[in-house]
Amino acid sequence: MLRQIGRQPEGYLDQFWDLYARLPHETRRYVPRFLATLAIVEDPAQFGLTLPEPAPPLAFETVEIARATRLDAIERQLQLPGGTLQELNPELRRGATPRAPYPLRVPPGLGVPLLASLESLPLYTPPPQVEHGTHRVRAGETLSTIAARYGTSVDALVRLNRLRNAHRLAVGQRLQVPVRGGRGAASQPRTVVMVAPGESVEHVVAPGESLWQIAGRYGTTVERLRSDNQLRRDAVLQPGQRLVVRGSAP
pLDDT (average), residues 138-150: 79
Kindly indicate the confidence band of residue 42, based on its pLDDT and cuts at 50, 70 and 90.
very high
Instruction: Please tell me the CATH superfamily of domain 131-179, with its number.
Output: LysM domain (3.10.350.10)
Q: Answer yes or no: same fold for 131-179 and 200-246.
A: yes
Residue 206 to residue 226: CA distance in whole angstroms: 17
pLDDT, tens digit (0-9, with 9 covering 90-100), for 46-68: 999 999 888 889 999 999 998 89
pLDDT (average), residues 36-42: 92
Rounded to whole angstroms, what are the CA distances from 192 to 67, 220, 244?
20, 10, 16
pLDDT of 6 = 53
> 200-246: what CATH class?
alpha beta
Residue 114 has pLDDT above 90, yes or no: yes
Q: Tell me how far the alpha carbon of residue 19 is from its chain's centroid.
A: 34
Apex 192 CA angle, 191 and 194, nearest 5: 140
By C-alpha distance, which of 160, 155, 158, 179 is closest to 169?
158
* Percentage, residues of the chain above pLDDT 70: 79
pLDDT (average), residues 233-237: 79
Q: Residue 169: how many CB atoms within 10 A of its CB?
A: 16
Domain ranges of the chain: 2-47, 61-121, 131-179, 200-246
